[in-house]
Chain A
Amino acid sequence: MQRDLIESALKGHEADYVEVRLEESRSTSVRYRGKELEEISQPVSSGGNVRALVRGGWGFVSFNEPGHLREKVGLAVAHARHVGRGATSFAATEPAVDVLNETAAKDCSAIALAEKKRLAEEYNEIVLSTPRVETSVVAYRDRRRRVVFASSEGSYIEQSNSDLALRVAAMARDGGDVQQSGLSTGSRGDFGQVEGLHQQVRETALRAVELLSAPRVSSGEHWVVLDPILAGVFVHEAFGHLSEADFTYENERMRQIMVVGRRFGGDHLNIVDGAAVPGLRGSYRYDDEGVPAARTYLVKEGVLVGRLHSRETAAKMAEPVTGNARAVDYHHPPIVRMTNTFIEAGQASFDGMVGEIKEGVYVKNWYGGTTSMEMFTFSAAEAYAIRNGRVAELLRPVVLSGNIFTTLENVDAIGDDLQMNQGGGCGKSGQAPLPVSNGSPHIRIRRCLIGGA
Chain B
Amino acid sequence: MAGKRAQEAEVFVGSVDDTPVVFEANRLKQLQTNRGMLVALRIVRDGKLGFATATSLDDIGSLVDRAVDISHFGAPARFELPSGQEYPRVSVYDREAETFDVDAMVELGQSLIARVREHTPDLLCDASVGRGAALVHVMNSRGGEASFTRSYFGLALEGTLIRGTDILFVGDSESSCHPIRDVDWLVKSTVNQLELSRRQAALTTGHMPVIFTPHGVVSALIAPLAAAFNGRVVLQGVSPLMNRTGEQVFSPELSLRDDATVAYRPRSRPCDDEGMPSRVIPLVEHGVVSGFIYDLQTAALAGTRSTGSGDRAGASLPSPSVSNLVVQTGKTGFEDMVRGLDEGLVVEQLMGATQTNVLGGDFSGNVLLGYKVEKGEMVGRVKDTVVSGNVYQALSAAIAVGREARWVGAVHTPAILCPDLAVGVKG
Contact = CB atoms under 8 A, between A and B. Distances in A.
Interface string B47-89: 0000111111000000000100110011100000000000000
Interface in B237-251: 237-240, 244
A114 interface: yes
A36 interface: yes
A450 interface: yes
Nearest to B205: A220
Given A257-B162, A376-B366, A451 B70 contact: no
Contacts of A369: 352, 355
A349 to B, nearest CB: 28
B160 A447 contact: no
A39 B232 CA distance: 13
B360 A177 contact: yes
A135 B167 contact: no
Looking at chain A's contact residues, is the secondary structure mostly helix, strand, loop, or mixed? Answer: strand
Given A64-B37, A179-B357, A39 B53 contact: no
Contacts, number: 248
Contacts of A398: 356, 364
Contacts of B32: 59-62, 79, 333
Given A377-B366, A399-B365, A451 B386 contact: yes
B229 to A, nearest CB: 14
Interface stretch (B20-28, B179-187, B411-419): B20-28
Interface residues of A, number: 81
Given A134-B237, A452-B424, A58 B29 contact: yes
Interface residues of B, number: 75
A65 B352 CA distance: 38
B29 A38 contact: no
B336 interface: no
B281 to A, nearest CB: 22
Contact of A41 (B51, B160, B238): B51
Nearest to B26: A250
Contact of B238 (A45, A173, A219, A378): A173
Contacts of A117: 73
A401 B28 contact: no
A396 B386 contact: no
Given A79-B33, A379-B364, A401-B386, A221 B52 contact: no
B73 A367 contact: no
Interface stretch (A80-88, A278-286, A355-363): A80-88
A41 B315 contact: yes
A64 B424 contact: no
Nearest to A399: B364
B34 A62 contact: yes
Interface string A421-453: 000000000000000000000000001011111
B330 to A, nearest CB: 24
Contacts of A372: 167, 169, 351, 368
Interface string B205-224: 10000000000000000000
Contact of A377 (B54, B166, B355): B355
Nearest to B315: A43
A41 B317 contact: yes
Nearest to A49: B34
Interface string B388-427: 1000100000000000000000000000000000111110
A145 to B, nearest CB: 13
Contacts of A37: 73-75
A221 B362 CA distance: 20
Given A219-B388, A375-B384, A82 B162 contact: no
B368 A179 contact: no
A450 B386 contact: yes
Given A219-B386, A379-B364, A452-B424, 8 more contacts: A40-B70, A63-B36, A79-B30, A375-B368, A375-B384, A399-B386, A406-B426, A453-B388
The 8 A-B pairs at the shortest CB distance, nearest first, are namely A377-B352, A368-B355, A219-B424, A250-B25, A451-B386, A451-B388, A451-B364, A253-B162
29 contacts: A27-B315, A33-B232, A34-B235, A37-B73, A42-B52, A42-B70, A43-B53, A44-B54, A60-B31, A60-B32, A60-B34, A80-B31, A173-B237, A178-B238, A178-B240, A219-B386, A250-B24, A250-B124, A251-B25, A251-B160, A333-B30, A372-B368, A396-B357, A397-B357, A399-B364, A401-B384, A401-B386, A450-B386, A451-B422
Interface of B: 21, 24-25, 27-37, 51-56, 66, 69-70, 73-75, 102, 106, 122, 124, 160, 162, 165-167, 169, 205, 232, 235-240, 244, 301, 315-317, 319, 351-353, 355-357, 359-362, 364-366, 368, 383-384, 386-388, 392, 422-426
